[in-house]
Amino acid sequence: QVQLVESGGGLVQPGGSLRLSCTASGFTLADYTVGWFRQAPGKGREGVGSISRWDENTYFGDALREDAVRGRLTISRDSAKNAVYLQMNSLKPEDTGVYYCAADRELDWNWWNQDEYDYWGQGTQVTVSS
């Protein structure tokens, strides 16, 4: 059975950290570009970032690229565990939302094309609040 499962979400205070996991079953995640997306309450789903299947480069959405440069966001892959991770530090209330991972065999620098992804997880809730 082909499945993507996100985990690691929860309630965290501002300034805290979370590591979200995206684990695949039924296929080899290392053969796929994996994107992370989030949906805040009342808003559309936006791209957070991705890790390429071709060269392991990571990309981030325009609004979050500066955060990645500062080390607030990191995306990594553990092929032995068939998983991809989104590490988030210095969390802010505006990071609240449902976080999804998605996988596709063809996408690379064009990872933001949500309609192109082959598989999606069910999402994990992240709430940043004091």
Q: For the residues 49-77, what does the mean pLDDT come to?
A: 92
**Short-list 112, 113, 115, 118, CA closest to 31:** 118
For the segment 1-29, what is each residue's pLDDT rounded down to a tens digit?
999 999 999 999 999 999 999 999 999 99
Q: How many residues does the chain have?
A: 130
> What residues contact residue 28 under an 8 Å CB cut-off, 6+ apart?
82
**Short-list 122, 114, 117, 121, CA closest to 104:** 117
pLDDT value at residue 3: 96
Where helices occur in the chain by DSSP H, the ranges are 65-69
pLDDT value at residue 87: 98
